[in-house]
Structures are given as C-alpha cells and as structure tokens.
Amino acid sequence: MFCLFYLQAKEALENGEVPVGCLMVYRNEILGQGRNEVNETKNATRHAEMVAIDQVLKWCHEKGRDRKEVFEHTVLYVTVEPCIMCAAALRLLNIPLVVYGCQNERFGGCGSVLNISQDDLQHTGTPFQCLGGYRAEEAVELLKTFYKAENPNAPKSKARKKQ
C-alpha cells in the first residue's frame, strides 16, 4: 500500500512536475494522496503534501471528524524530504511521523536546510519524527530524470551579453 506514493511521483513526472508524491495514512487508511501540481496550476503552494492535506481536510469535513485528532494520528509517506513550507504546515497540524525517500538538499525542512520538524519553535505545533531513506535511490532517479529534461515552465535565462 505504502509504495503508492512513488506512483504519485511518477505521475507528477509524466505531467511535467517535480516528481514528488505522498500519502497521508490515518490508522492504516489512506485519507489523502498527492503529487506536485505547481506547474499545472501555476500555484507555487501546490506541493504534494499540500494537495494531500486538502484531501484529509475534506475527508474530515465529510465524515464529521475532528481534524486535530485525525492529523495527530496520521503518518505522511513522501518521496522527498518535505520543503520548509510543507514541514511547517505538517508541524502546525501536529503530524507525528514523516517517512521520506531522499533528502532535499536545497529546500529541506526536516534537517537538510532547516530542522522545522525538531527545532524549538514556540507556538508552532508539535515537533515530529522523521525517518528518511525509504527507497531513496528510486526517488533520486526520478528527480534526475526530471532535471535532465528542460523544464518548459522554468523562466527563460536572462544571460547578459558582453559589451
């Protein structure tokens, strides 16, 4: 069941997105799944984790469940270490555990750049545990495939001409 988040990452890659996929699992039930949708939606906040969080919130609303209680018992499985923005959101939601594939050396919020998951940050939710390295090689290969191709959504280079 938990390898499904790698399928989400592959779908993201096929759709011209940075290949990140995730699942949010509450008591062995998948309540949310997501893939990056940044390029597709032209919205920089539509990371896989945010897409999945929205699905969990919708589930809570539809089922009349307390979202605080649900998130406190939900585990996130994600192909790449959550970025600083996503790590902050996960902390505010009191997610207890994040299992990720490879590190995010440029934007990681679980120790690679900042340690949002564990730092002493007042009034920002509960620190959460992170377990990295789950199928990391596969996550790295997906990222390499994406970055080898030219991103059609990237801004055009503004190289200066020599005078």
pLDDT, mean of residues 5-11: 93
CATH classification (class only), 3-147: alpha beta
| Phi (first) and psi of residue 62, to 5 degrees | -65, -35
Tokens standing for residue 28: 């062995």
67-110 confidence digits (pLDDT tens): 999 999 999 999 999 999 999 999 999 999 999 999 999 999 99
Q: Is the pLDDT of residue 123 over 90?
A: no
Q: Is the pLDDT of residue 134 over 80?
A: yes
Q: What is the pLDDT of residue 163?
A: 54
Look up the pTM and report it: 0.88
- Cα–Cα distance for residue pair 91/68, rounded to 1 Å: 12
Residue 158 vs residue 122, higher pLDDT = 122
Place of tokens 């997610």: 95
27-61 confidence digits (pLDDT tens): 999 999 999 999 999 999 999 999 999 999 999 99
Give yes or no: 49 in active site: yes
Which residue among the candidates 49, 62, 105, 137 is catalytic per the annotation?
49
pLDDT, mean of residues 147-162: 64
- Cα–Cα distance for residue pair 54/48, rounded to 1 Å: 10
